[in-house]
């Protein structure tokens, strides 16, 4: 799809699904205690990629990394690059993360920005494909979350137990289980 043929309704739907995931899972389950602040302040940039080829996605990723580092953090603190038309296979996505990190280094942005990963089939090493623990990083679409290192450092000062987030998240999703996760995401239950 090119910009001239882009379906705005499709982009709005995809962005809406990601916003729902962010507010319900990431913020609602407190999987990332840093997310609420930037969300409430409107500092999250949502970009729906048209890329279907790795080369095009890499170009878009470079543009978004550059835009983020050049933007005022009060306007854009973080970017969610949503990839609905490529990298649907988690192994291909995981391989692309290596290329994305190489790009970050070639732009001399490592230490300034970082890339966090989310995918509908996300799978931590040593887990089975259906293990509930994987849901902490599962999103409706492949997503590259571009973050400022300074923002992470400031957030970690406010949340000194930041190193415990991973274990706390695992316990949260284990408590929910698969059925509880589906109910929570559908808005049919509260914690």
**Count of domains for the chain:** 1
Q: What residue numbers bound the domain in which 121 lies?
A: 3-185
Answer whether residue 113 is part of any domain: yes
Answer whether residue 191 is part of any domain: no
Answer whether residue 62 is part of any domain: yes
pLDDT at 118 over 70: yes
Pairing of strands 44-48, 78-82: parallel
Q: What is the per-residue pLDDT across 22-67, written as a single tens digit (0 to 9) for each?
A: 999 999 999 998 899 999 999 999 999 999 999 999 999 999 999 9
Query: What average pLDDT does the structure give for the chain?
Result: 93
Answer whether residue 190 is part of any domain: no
Q: What is the per-residue pLDDT across 164-181, written as a single tens digit (0 to 9) for each?
A: 888 999 999 999 999 999
Answer whether residue 140 is part of any domain: yes
Answer whether residue 130 is part of any domain: yes
pLDDT given for residue 103 in this prediction: 98
Q: Quick check: pTM over 0.85? A: yes
CA atoms within 13 A on the CB side of 41: 13
CA distance 96 to 88: 11
Answer whether residue 97 is part of any domain: yes
Q: What is the mean pLDDT of residues 120-146?
A: 97
pLDDT given for residue 160 in this prediction: 66
Judge whether 108 and 128 are in contact, CB under 8 Å: no
């Amino acid at each position: 799809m090119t910009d001239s043929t882009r379906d705005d309704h499709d982009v709005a739907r995809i962005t809406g699904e990601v916003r729902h995931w962010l507010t319900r899972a990431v913020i609602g389950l407190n999987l990332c205690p840093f997310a609420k602040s930037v969300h409430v302040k409107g500092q999250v940039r949502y970009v729906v990629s048209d890329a279907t080829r790795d080369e095009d996605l890499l170009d878009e990723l470079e543009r978004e990394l550059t835009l983020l580092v050049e933007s005022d953090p009060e306007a854009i603190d973080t970017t969610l690059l949503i990839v609905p038309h490529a990298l649907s296979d988690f192994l291909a996505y995981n391989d692309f993360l290596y290329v994305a990190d190489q790009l970050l280094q070639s732009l001399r942005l490592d230490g300034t920005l970082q890339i966090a990963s989310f995918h509908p089939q996300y799978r931590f090493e040593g887990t089975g494909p259906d293990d509930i623990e994987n849901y902490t990083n599962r999103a409706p679409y492949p997503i590259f979350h571009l973050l400022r290192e300074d923002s992470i450092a400031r957030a970690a000062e406010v949340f000194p137990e930041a190193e415990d987030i991973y274990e706390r998240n695992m316990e949260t999703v284990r408590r929910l289980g698969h059925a509880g996760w589906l109910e929570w995401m559908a808005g049919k239950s509260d914690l």
